[in-house]
Amino acid sequence: MKQIPHYTLIGIGLALLISTKSIAAPSNDWPLDYPVVLESVSIDSTYDTLFTAQQKGWLGADAAHSIVLSEERVLWLFGDTYIGEVRDGHRYPEGYHINNCIAIEDRSKGVPGEIKYYWGEKNGYPTAFFPPQADMPGHFFWPTSGLVVKGRLLLFSFAMQANDTTWWLAGTVVAAINNYKDDPALWLAEYYDLKLGNNQFGIHSALFLEGEYIYFMGFSEFSEGQSAILGRAEQKEFSENPSGKLIEFWSRGWFKKQWRQKPDKLVPLFSPGVTETDIQYITDWKLFAVTTYDPMQPEIYLTTAKSLTGPWTDPVHIFTNPDHVTMTYAARPHPQISRKSGEIIFSYITSPTSLDIPKESMDTYRPRFLKIKLALR
């Protein structure tokens, strides 16, 4: 298995934790037996300017996971977020940094839709939309993925613990929302502690519904580095009462790979395993595609498989971030906005070079969108 350097949760967000011209594509020296070939890489002009800084309000954030709530509404999840105003072409957060927020994209008048942001407020100051809970692990939540299952919206967050010098992954918390069709200001969330997750092991990098199961693509530390892993749970049972005990993992058995409840003999799918990605299924080709990356490097990669359990192809290079200085991360496909077979539209984040946001480019620390076109071999 080809190894790309792996990483741990450090720094800002989970990793530190314009022109419409075609971008020069990486030389397509992919293996001759690779199932697809890369035709082009370009900025997606439809979505690339959707999340630019507001004159007063939302200035930028990371994560940017999308969930279809209905034909007209798409939910976007964000992690660390800056709130403030734009003056003289620069962003001034005025010290307002919150750990998460959301946005609703209203597509009733076309695509892309109109965006409305939501966060909390206390004593006149912005706060996280999903605040810490007294009976849940972590000092704050970083939501990274979610889906609607059996009429219930399930949102997965890394529960992060912190002290004066650092922070670490303390577990996984699910916010379950029954009235997700209402305005988010009226949402009533029930929180569940899955009792899973640490800096070396996570289960919700990406989620996918197939048959009667929810599939969980996560990451785990192996002797050869950090790799992607797979779990699954029955949709009905898990949606009613989310619990880590309901998840079984794709594992090594005595004679063959099998599903097991203990995550101690996990099968590495591909490397590196990351905290944030998504799974796109190309129906016409019966092919799964996933992005992966090393956030300390500017390259973004693609891997494919005919089945979620694999085998997955070695990751191949699809894009190099020309603005990379410190980190390029949260590279994740958005299947619901792709327009044809073989087209993958994904977002990524360029981290700022410092915490002095007014000095940073307006394109750092916000989702940028690219479109790649693939063809079958």
Q: Let me know if residue 5 belongs to a domain.
A: no
| Structure tokens, 55 | 């004159």
Q: Let me know if residue 2 belongs to a domain.
A: no
Distance separating alpha carbons of residues 182 and 236, to the nearest angstrom: 22
Residue 341: phi and psi, rounded to 5, are -60, 140
As for how many domains the chain has, the answer is 1
- H or E element in which residue 316 lies: strand 316-320
* Cβ-Cβ contacts under 8 Å for 229 (sequence gap 6 or more): 203, 217, 218, 219, 220, 249, 250, 263, 266, 267, 268, 269, 273
HSE value, Cβ hemisphere, 13 Å, CA-based, for 54: 14
Range of the domain at 269: 22-376
Report the pLDDT value the prediction gives residue 25, as an integer from 0 to 100.
58
Partners of 97 in the β-ladder: 82
Report the pLDDT value the prediction gives residue 23, as an integer from 0 to 100.
59
Q: Assess contact for 118 and 103: CB atoms under 8 A.
A: yes
In 3D space, the residue among 275, 245, 242 whose CA is nearest the CA of residue 260 turns out to be: 245
Partners of 155 in the β-ladder: 146, 175
HSE value, Cβ hemisphere, 13 Å, CA-based, for 253: 9
* pLDDT in single tens digits along all 377 residues of the chain: 444 433 333 344 444 443 334 455 566 678 888 999 999 999 999 999 999 999 999 999 999 999 999 999 999 999 999 999 999 999 999 888 999 999 999 999 988 999 999 999 999 999 999 999 999 999 999 999 999 999 999 999 999 998 888 889 999 999 999 999 999 999 999 999 999 999 999 999 999 999 999 999 999 999 889 999 999 999 999 999 999 999 999 999 988 999 999 999 999 999 999 999 999 999 999 999 999 999 999 999 999 999 999 999 999 999 999 999 999 999 999 999 988 889 999 999 999 988 789 999 999 999 999 999 999 98
Burial degree of 226 (CB within 10 A; 0-12, 13-18, 19+):
buried
Q: Let me know if residue 17 belongs to a domain.
A: no
DSSP summary character for residue 99: S
Q: Let me know if residue 74 belongs to a domain.
A: yes
Residue 185: phi and psi, rounded to 5, are -60, -20
In the block, residue with structure tokens 């892309």:
112
Give 306-310 contacts, CB < 8 A, sequence gap 24+: 308/208, 308/210, 308/215, 308/217, 308/230, 308/279, 309/230, 309/250, 309/257, 309/267, 310/267, 310/269, 310/270
Report the pLDDT value the prediction gives residue 1, as an integer from 0 to 100.
42
Q: Let me know if residue 15 belongs to a domain.
A: no
Report the pLDDT value the prediction gives residue 165, as an integer from 0 to 100.
85
Q: Which CATH number characterizes residue 365's domain?
A: 2.115.10
Report the pLDDT value the prediction gives residue 21, as an integer from 0 to 100.
44
CA distances from 183 to 75, 111, 234, 268 (A): 11, 20, 29, 40
Q: Could you tell me where the beta strands, DSSP code E, fall in 266-315? A: 279-282, 287-293, 299-305
Q: Assess contact for 244 and 194: CB atoms under 8 A.
A: yes
- Residue 9 DSSP SS3: coil
pTM of the model: 0.93
Q: Let me know if residue 202 belongs to a domain.
A: yes
Q: Let me know if residue 14 belongs to a domain.
A: no
Q: Let me know if residue 333 belongs to a domain.
A: yes
Distance separating alpha carbons of residues 316 and 1, to the nearest angstrom: 12
Report the pLDDT value the prediction gives residue 28, as an integer from 0 to 100.
67
| Alpha helices (runs of H) in 69-183, residue ranges in sequence order | none
